[in-house]
Amino acid sequence: MADMLDWTGASLENLDMAAFEARADEMAARLVEETGAGRLPFLSMPYAAALKEDLAQLKDFIKAFDHMLLLGIGGSALGARALQQAFFPQQGQPGHSGPCLWIADNVDAYALEAYLAKLPPEKTVVVTVSKSGGTIETVGQYFILKEWMHRRLGDAWSEHMLLVTDEKQGFLRAEAGKYGITTLPVPDNLGGRYSVLSAVGLIPALFLGMDIDALMAGAQEVATPLADPKLTGEELAAHGSFQLAAWGAALLEKGFDEMIFFAYIPLWAKFGDWFAQLWAESLGKEGRGSQPIPAVGVTDQHSVNQMFMDGLRNKACLFLTCPSLPAGPKFPMDLPDQFAYVRGRDFGDLLQAEALGTRMALSDSGVPLVELLMGDDGPRQAGKLIALLGAATIMTGWLMGINPLDQPAVELGKRLAKARMNADGLTEEKASLNAFLTADRDMREF
């Protein structure tokens, strides 16, 4: 079965899609300009051939380790975690004895101390991912792991390190040159939330034995037409990513300012978290945007689905399904009469039935819904999904008239955190921080 977008429940009759669809020529011209100038490597992937060679040369190095500790945050970790759960679920299952990927994606002293206490340094490679080389949450962990490795392994510490950072500049690039640490680059103009199909996500995928060639091929199947220097508006109008972008922009005009990502492929649930950063950080600008809500089927039928069905009518939904998931064991035949309807049925039938029921109920409740119907749950399909949603997000931003590639508001919080740690400079931030900390507080015991 082919991968499909089912628009049956998208409420197209209630949305002014035509105004955005009419801008296909404009969007095609912009894609040609931006990809031609190298500003959208997520779509054009000019780095792909060199990256495949680098990964081939790196394979024996990383396969020599039993553990990989990935230091990264946001886009430097969310894609890797999604791929890990989707294609290497055995690490979280009983009896696992193969390679283990650990992701340190927060300022979490409990977790970091556990890694230091329990990971065998001689069998561990530490991968630090920061494009700028200055992300303090990540580089701060690198400092601690560097000291730990040096203390336990002596001069061999650098042989257990791998840096993924800017090719030419930044602190981590300087560290690589100083200590001879193996590195792979993050391509120019490739923001973290768009970087999963670079070394950022593919190094941990390679370590776990995933089919990264299929993953990349799937992504290129979707993205390559969008990077064609001869792309026309007619061709773009027929592309699923543009159709989703026009839908997303039209939804916002009608007040649908929340986007549910409902995953009924259980192992793909973490793609919801990946999508949440992609959608929120790209489109939440200038007092506008659409709040992403990751949800997992069937788990969230028993929690937040009440709000989806019967709450404020401001929600739309991307509904992820795959009819060809494993059947699983069969239900026993000797069940009580009240459960007779599942006697002898495959356990997997229940998931498909729940997905159908929820999709119909959401539509009946007035939630505009597009079903992302995957023909398979393999890596090629995951690559297609990543490219589809990334491209749709970029074009939704353009149709809104905002820049989907920056994140200005996020930077303020980072500067204030650095001011709190008394970093040099940041005069205005330190003044704001002092005013905040010395103001009267309304404190109440509970």
Active site residues: 281, 302, 414
CB-based burial, 345-381: b 16+ in 10 Å, e otherwise = eeebeebbeebeebbeebbeeebbbbbbbbeebbbbb
- HSE on the CB side for 23, CA within 13 Å? 20
- Alpha-carbon distance of 78 to 74, in angstroms, equals 6
Residue 371 pairs with which residues in a beta bridge?
6, 319
Q: How many residues can be counted in the chain?
A: 446
Q: Give phi and psi for 365, each to the nearest 5.
A: -90, 5
* Cβ–Cβ under 8 Å, residues 387 and 335: no
β-pair type (258-263, 315-321): parallel
Say what the alpha-carbon torsion angle 192, 197, 203, 209 is, to the nearest 10 degrees: 140
Selection from 404, 403, 384 nearest residue 271 by Cα: 384
What are the angstrom distances between the C-alpha of 404 and each of 114, 307, 331, 420?
A: 37, 28, 48, 29
What are the angstrom distances between the C-alpha of 360 and each of 98, 202, 296, 353, 396?
A: 41, 37, 16, 11, 26
β-pair type (369-373, 4-6): antiparallel
